[in-house]
Chain A
Amino acid sequence: MEQLGKGSGQIDMGIVFHDVSYTHAKRTALEHKAVNGITLSLPDGQFAAIMGPSGSGKTTLGQLAAGILMPESGLVYVDNIPTNSRKLWSDLSNKVAYVSQFPEHQLFEETVFRDIRYGLRRKKYSDQEITAKVKDAMECVGLAFETYKDRSPFQLSGGEQRRAALAGAIVLEPKILVLDEPTAGLDSWARVKFLRLLTHLQRTKHMTIVCITHYLEDALEFADRLVILNNGSLSCDLKPAEIQWALKELDTALSPTPLLRFREELDSLFPGKIDSEIIQENKLFAFITDRLMRT
């Protein structure tokens, strides 16, 4: 760790993709190039939304970032460690946690407590330490320890199960969290709550969040950056504030959200007055009530 940092101090910490390709089902009839020549750098502490149509390579990119898949060509680095380095595998697995799509399918222990502590089983912690860590992780995702610890994961609601799965990932205290469509199937309320929780983790624990999502609304509301894939290649890499421009000028395969459509209408009625940085709902509403309508 130490010596690595010294040797390559000029490289940013975070996840770096260097000309990465990956083919599924190689040399079979189903052979399919999922990711094709992607170069990308996700610095520490960023919330990146990975977007694109079905089959564009999002899940594969997420699994490459988490070190679950190894690139077929090119390299993926996590804090300067190449993910295919066997020697440094345990350093790597301490840094990144991965939450798959429908993580509730991976809940299998009898109680929430046992499920969350599962990832700690090989670490040399005392029972007391384990309890403290599980408690922290549960409180962090909004599952009250005493209320939930002895409950069966199968009796939780969809939103609670997602939070339990997230607690199972953050109990390992990763620096980087990769999530594959974490809100699919949740009701709108639970979805917003879950995403707020992710930005809370990003801010309070300085966690890097890589979140695969179909929802442009959510990406604009919560992410610092939109990485849009198409057909295995990087099609756009934008700041949320650039979205209005990108939807017009680039082939993003995304449709404008109600907020963007409304903003566009406002913009034509109040030319030059609507700051392009305002694409989050609360900011837009506050701008309308406190500035636009007060002048």
Chain B
Amino acid sequence: MGMTAAAKIPSVVFENVSFRFSEHGEWIVKDINISIAPGEWISIVGGNGSGKSTFVKLVNGLLKPSLGKVIVFGESTDNANLRKIRQSAGIIFQNPDEQTVGATVEEDIAFGLQNLMFPRDEMISRIDRILKLLQLESLRGRPVRMLSGGQKQLVAIAGILVMHPQIIIFDEATSMLDPHNAGKLIGVMSELHRMGLTVLQVTHDPEDIWRADRILVLNNGHLAFAGDIPTLMKQSDILEEAQTLPPFLVRLHKALRQKGIKLPAWSSSEKEVAKLIWELCSTT
């Protein structure tokens, strides 16, 4: 019973949340209501300046709502829970050079645990496990500044994972990496999602949204859409209105529709869509 009750607590809830930096400033995020379930993978898209980064900073209490409430696992971000909430929800930012603190990889990863005065044995065993999970063991004693951008992002993730978070947030974390390293980081995200973490991913890559359980589209601070891909496809102008390029296959669907060609089914696989076109050609 206790377990099922706990499982029903959403990982993140926004209740009528608005945010602005100063009392008479412009609203950056406006009247957002959303509930995110534990273990969900959420992609957050929208143009530059749409409020995506503000949204995720509100999740882990880096910013406090000007109006409304943000609740993380049942606890509001605007009171004494902040320390706990920062532990349960960590953010990886865009720039690998701006989020490492220690001299060596091991020291960097230990930083958060040291702040919490963790016993040494527990600290070391946690670090061991995370280094193994991210395949960073060979870098353990290396100076952080000598690492590549992709490696630095992995070290930043390790520093968050040792805190045993329930939510991990990626704020355009792949945008400064080359395709190879970006792909590796996406692999790590999938692994964390499989392990049951809630993944929030702010992204500019149109193809990223395929992996998500739900997509949030932000437009000018408003939540213009929250739902899965098939639902989003029925209202595909929402992405364009939010200055966001839809994924390739969605662009193809649209181009076909504009010429009066309607595919009999919807698919997210290139192979399936090609087949649908072939079938349509052979029946006419």
Question: Which residues of A are at the interface with B, using a C-beta cutoff of 8 A?
Answer: 53-55, 157-159, 184-192, 214, 216, 253-255, 257-259, 261-262, 264-266, 269-270, 281, 285, 288-290, 292-293, 295
What distance in Å separates the Cβ of B123 from its nearest Cβ neighbour in chain A?
A: 32
Report Cα–Cα, A186/B245, bound state, in Å.
Answer: 12
Complex contact A185–B176 (CB within 8 A) = yes
What distance in Å separates the Cβ of B96 from its nearest Cβ neighbour in chain A?
A: 11
What distance in Å separates the Cβ of B39 from its nearest Cβ neighbour in chain A?
A: 27
Complex contact A255–B245 (CB within 8 A) = no
Q: Is B119 an interface residue (CB 8 A)?
A: no
Interface pairs (15), CB distance under 8 Å = A188-B204, A188-B205, A189-B47, A189-B243, A254-B179, A258-B248, A258-B270, A262-B274, A265-B271, A269-B278, A270-B278, A270-B281, A281-B248, A289-B261, A295-B281
Chain A residues within 8 Å of B46, by CB? 187
Complex contact B251–A281 (CB within 8 A) = yes
What distance in Å separates the Cβ of A25 from its nearest Cβ neighbour in chain B?
A: 13
Interface 9-residue window, one of B62-70, B157-165, B252-260: B252-260
Complex contact A190–B248 (CB within 8 A) = no
B118-151: CB near A (< 8 Å → 1, else 0) gives: 0000000000000000000000000000001110
**With contacts A55-B148, A262-B248, A266-B277 known, is A190 near B259, CB below 8 A?**
no
**With contacts A185-B94, A186-B48, A289-B255 known, is A53 near B245, CB below 8 A?**
no
**With contacts A214-B178, A257-B248 known, is A186 near B49, CB below 8 A?**
no
Residue of A nearest to B243 (CB): A189
Residue of A nearest to B178 (CB): A54
B230-251: CB near A (< 8 Å → 1, else 0) gives: 0000000000000111011101
Chain A residues within 8 Å of B181, by CB? 54
Q: Is B58 an interface residue (CB 8 A)?
A: no
Q: Is B105 an interface residue (CB 8 A)?
A: no
What distance in Å separates the Cβ of A183 from its nearest Cβ neighbour in chain B?
A: 9
Report Cα–Cα, A187/B203, bound state, in Å.
Answer: 8
B69-90: CB near A (< 8 Å → 1, else 0) gives: 0000000000000000000000
Chain A residues within 8 Å of B271, by CB? 265
Complex contact B277–A293 (CB within 8 A) = yes
What distance in Å separates the Cβ of A23 from its nearest Cβ neighbour in chain B?
A: 18
Question: Which residues of B are at the interface with A, using a C-beta cutoff of 8 A?
Answer: 46-49, 94, 148-150, 172, 175-181, 183, 204-207, 243-245, 247-249, 251-252, 255-256, 259, 261, 270-271, 273-275, 277-278, 280-281, 284
Contacts A53-B179, A54-B150 known; list 17 others, CB within 8 Å. Answer: A54-B177, A158-B49, A159-B48, A187-B47, A191-B245, A214-B178, A258-B270, A259-B248, A262-B248, A262-B252, A264-B270, A265-B271, A265-B275, A281-B248, A285-B251, A292-B277, A293-B281
Partner of A285, one of B178, B252, B275: B252
Report Cα–Cα, A262/B284, bound state, in Å.
Answer: 22
Complex contact A158–B48 (CB within 8 A) = yes
Chain B residues within 8 Å of A185, by CB? 94, 172, 175-176, 204
What distance in Å separates the Cβ of B274 from its nearest Cβ neighbour in chain A?
A: 4
Complex contact A289–B244 (CB within 8 A) = no
Report Cα–Cα, A189/B45, bound state, in Å.
Answer: 11
What distance in Å separates the Cβ of A182 from its nearest Cβ neighbour in chain B?
A: 14
What distance in Å separates the Cβ of A226 from its nearest Cβ neighbour in chain B?
A: 14
Report Cα–Cα, A158/B205, bound state, in Å.
Answer: 16
Task: Identify the 6 closest CB pairs spanning chains A and B, nearest first.
Answer: A265-B274, A188-B245, A258-B248, A285-B255, A262-B270, A189-B243
Report Cα–Cα, A262/B275, bound state, in Å.
Answer: 10
Complex contact B281–A261 (CB within 8 A) = no
What distance in Å separates the Cβ of A24 from its nearest Cβ neighbour in chain B?
A: 14
Chain A residues within 8 Å of B247, by CB? 258
Chain A residues within 8 Å of B204, by CB? 185-188, 191
What distance in Å separates the Cβ of B50 from its nearest Cβ neighbour in chain A?
A: 8
What distance in Å separates the Cβ of A50 from its nearest Cβ neighbour in chain B?
A: 13
Chain A residues within 8 Å of B178, by CB? 53-54, 214
Chain B residues within 8 Å of A288, by CB? 252, 255-256, 277
What distance in Å separates the Cβ of B81 from its nearest Cβ neighbour in chain A?
A: 33
**With contacts A54-B148, A159-B48 known, is A253 near B180, CB below 8 A?**
yes
Chain B residues within 8 Å of A189, by CB? 47, 243-245
Report Cα–Cα, A184/B255, bound state, in Å.
Answer: 27
Residue of A nearest to B251 (CB): A281
Chain B residues within 8 Å of A293, by CB? 261, 277, 280-281, 284
Complex contact B49–A157 (CB within 8 A) = yes
Report Cα–Cα, A184/B172, bound state, in Å.
Answer: 11
Chain B residues within 8 Å of A191, by CB? 204, 245
Complex contact A266–B49 (CB within 8 A) = no
Chain A residues within 8 Å of B251, by CB? 281, 285
Report Cα–Cα, A141/B272, bound state, in Å.
Answer: 40
Report Cα–Cα, A265/B249, bound state, in Å.
Answer: 13
What distance in Å separates the Cβ of B45 from its nearest Cβ neighbour in chain A?
A: 8
Complex contact B150–A184 (CB within 8 A) = no
What distance in Å separates the Cβ of B277 from its nearest Cβ neighbour in chain A?
A: 7
Report Cα–Cα, A288/B206, bound state, in Å.
Answer: 22
- Most chain B CB neighbours (cut-off 10 Å) among A255, A264, A269: A269
Report Cα–Cα, A180/B96, bound state, in Å.
Answer: 18
Chain B residues within 8 Å of A264, by CB? 270
Chain A residues within 8 Å of B48, by CB? 157-159, 186-187, 190
